[in-house]
Every structure is written in C-alpha cells, then in structure tokens.
Amino acid sequence: MKPVGVLLIGLILWGACNKKDDPTPQTPEQFLAREWVLNALTSTDPDFQTSGQILVGSHWTFNADKTFLLKVSVSGLDLSFTGSWSLASDGKTLTVTSNYGGSPVTSNMTIVSITAAQLVLEESAGGMTNTYTFSAKP
C-alpha cells in the first residue's frame, strides 16, 4: 500500500475514534437535566438539619421536558414526588413546583455550582438556609 493510502486510513480511523456519542452539556439547563443523588444536606435550622437527613440518598431526576421526580426511601417505604422545574434565564435560580398534600408547593433554590458530576443547591426561607450537595448518577 502506498504511504498516502496508509496515512488516509490512519486519519479516518483516528477521526472515528475521537467522535463523542454524547456531547458534553454546555448550559446549566443541560447539566441539570439528569438524575442526581443527594449526598449531603446541611441546614442552619437545627431541627431540619436532623430531620432532613432522611433525604440523603434520595434520587432527584430533572427531565428535559421540565418535569421532575423525587424518590426517597423512609423506614423501608419508597415515596415518590413529581412536579415541574424551571431555570431562570441567568442559569442561577432553580424553581421546583410539586403537588404536596393536594396543594402546589414551590421552592426557589440558588445553584451554587453545577458541573457534569456535581450539583450544589442552596435554599433560603424563613430565616434558615439549606444546602443540598448532589452527585450525578452514572
């Protein structure tokens, strides 16, 4: 085979091996739309700091269609909560609305940081601040 042919085949194979099947997310919205596992929860409210620990290990799925699903296991009982989410145009404020007890409940959270592997949210209300640290589910 001529050297040009070998070089051409090499370039084609190299190019094929370097293609990515899943493009890396580029916007906070694209980073957010996946399943996250809550690794840690801290709160300035001592009561919620204690009671909120039942959420650690819960799975929060933010779907591309702006729906979300929260799955948590409490004392062996699996619970699911559904709702919707939106992200402010600046990519910093996440609004989650769920139907809890027959009434819509809305939470506004600040995205402290977000990468493909980790999400940190902060929620402030009623004089307390809660911080949620997630890892992306593989």
User: Is this structure's pTM higher than 0.85?
Assistant: no
- Domain of 97 in residue numbering reads as 27-136
Q: Tell me the C-alpha distance between 9 and 15, whole Å.
A: 10
Asked if residue 14 belongs to a domain, the reply is no
Asked if residue 57 belongs to a domain, the reply is yes
pLDDT single digits (tens) 62-113:
999 999 999 999 888 999 989 999 999 999 999 999 977 778 889 999 999 9
Q: Which CATH number belongs to the domain containing residue 114 in this structure?
A: 2.40.128.280
Asked if residue 16 belongs to a domain, the reply is no
The whole-angstrom distance between residue 67's C-alpha and the CA centroid of its chain comes to 12
pLDDT single digits (tens) 11-53:
454 454 554 555 665 788 888 999 999 999 999 999 999 999 9
Residues 6+ apart with CB under 8 A from 5: none
How many distinct structural domains can be found in the chain? 1
- Contact call for residues 34 and 136 (beta carbons, < 8 A): yes
Helices (H), 38-128: 46-51
Asked if residue 114 belongs to a domain, the reply is yes
Asked if residue 66 belongs to a domain, the reply is yes
